Amino acid sequence: MPEPHARAPAHSEWWRQKLRGNARRDEETDAHLTLIGWLPLRIWEHETVDGAVERVAALATRGHPRALAISTWTPVLERATEGA
């Protein structure tokens, strides 16, 4: 798990225990998902969009049966015309 950008000065022991519990829960969830054939991937709120996209693309190109398929299709947004 990545380190947070800043540590909370107040209630630091409570936060340490909470984060340990969250990490334990995430590990258990990952183990369960892996057991049933999924490939868990977490994208953290402080991660850049480009970094997240690179990680997803790297997993998708590995050929994992549950990985996302990369498509060359690009959506095109069209303006709605009046009377259409």
Whether 72 maps to a domain, the answer reads no
Q: Does residue 8 carry a pLDDT above 70?
A: no
| 17 is a domain residue | yes
Q: What is the pLDDT of residue 56?
A: 87
Q: Does any domain span residue 1?
A: no
| Confidence grade of residue 4 (pLDDT, cut at 50, 70, 90) | low
Give the pLDDT mean for 26-49. 90
Q: What is the mean pLDDT of the chain?
A: 78
**Is the residue at 79 inside a domain?**
no
Task: Look up the domain containing 36 and give its range.
Answer: 12-60
Query: Does position 28 have pLDDT exceeding 60, yes or no?
Result: yes
Count: domains in the chain: 1
Q: Which two tokens stand for residue 52?
A: 């997240």
Residue 31 lies in a domain: yes
pLDDT band at 67 (very low <50, low <70, confident <90, very high): low
Residue 30 resides in a domain = yes
Query: What region does 34 belong to: left with phi over 0, alpha with psi -120 to 50, or beta?
Result: alpha
